[in-house]
Each structure stands twice: as C-alpha cells, then as structure tokens.
Structure 1
Amino acid sequence: MERQDPLAPTAADVHREAARRLRLIGYHGHRVRSLGTGKLMPDAIRHFKMQVDFVAETLSAQTPIPADFAEDRYWPRLG
C-alpha cells in the first residue's frame, strides 16, 4: 500500500482556498443582502461564485491535487 505524503494538499485545503477567495470579494455580504432585501446579487458576483465552486470541485477531485493549487492560474478572476 502506498503511503500518502502528509504534506500533500487535501480537498479540505482546496475548499479553504475557495472560501478565502470568496471572502476577498465579500460574497457572503452580497448573499446576506440578497436574502434580506429580495434583490438579486450582482451577476458578476454570482458567476464568480459558480466558477470558484467549479474549480474547487475539479481540483479536489484530482489525484494528486496539484501542490500549487492556490496559484491564481487555477482560479477565476472577478471582472
């Protein structure tokens, strides 16, 4: 049986990076405002969230997860 490198990134690491990127754009504030007011959040924010979720799922499903998964080249940009 192959031993996994204890320093290798995990799916949880990838999802933490996704959450960090969403925090940087204030996604949760937009979501709370949207739920509280009934107004849709800006399309750019909504689409960015969908893209981040897609990247997080794709990266976390890879074996092995790339060691440089947190690099900007893997993730979408807002605007």
Structure 2
Amino acid sequence: MFQITVFEMVVLIVLISTIGQLIRQRMRSQKISREQLKELEQKIRRIDELEERIRVLERIVTDPKENLRRDIGAL
C-alpha cells in the first residue's frame, strides 16, 4: 500500500476544494448567462413591437388622407 504524508493530504484537500469552487462558479455563470439571454430576447421582442408601432404612426402622420381629415376636422 501507499502512504500519504500530511503535506500530500493538505495539497489534495486544497486541490479538491479549488476544483469544487471552479465548478460551482462555472455553473453559476452558465445560469446567469441563460437568464440574461432570456431577458435579452424579451427586450428584442419589445423593440420589434415598438418599431412596428412607429412604422404605423409614421404612415398615419405622412398619409395625405389623414392630413386632409385633420384639416377638415380643425374647421
């Protein structure tokens, strides 16, 4: 059998705990990234909706028929 010295035991404990912390940090960063990705996708969808609303408003404002309606309504 082999014998482990106290020094080797300390090195193994430090190595195992360090690897455990690295794995934990990696898992947390992946989780945060997924959450951030979902949030980003929601924001992109919202921006797309707002762009479409702006297009509609631009059409209404620049439409000559709408301008005529407003002018008639103002009389």
TM-score, scaled relative to structure 1: 0.31
Larger radius of gyration: 2
More helix by share: 2
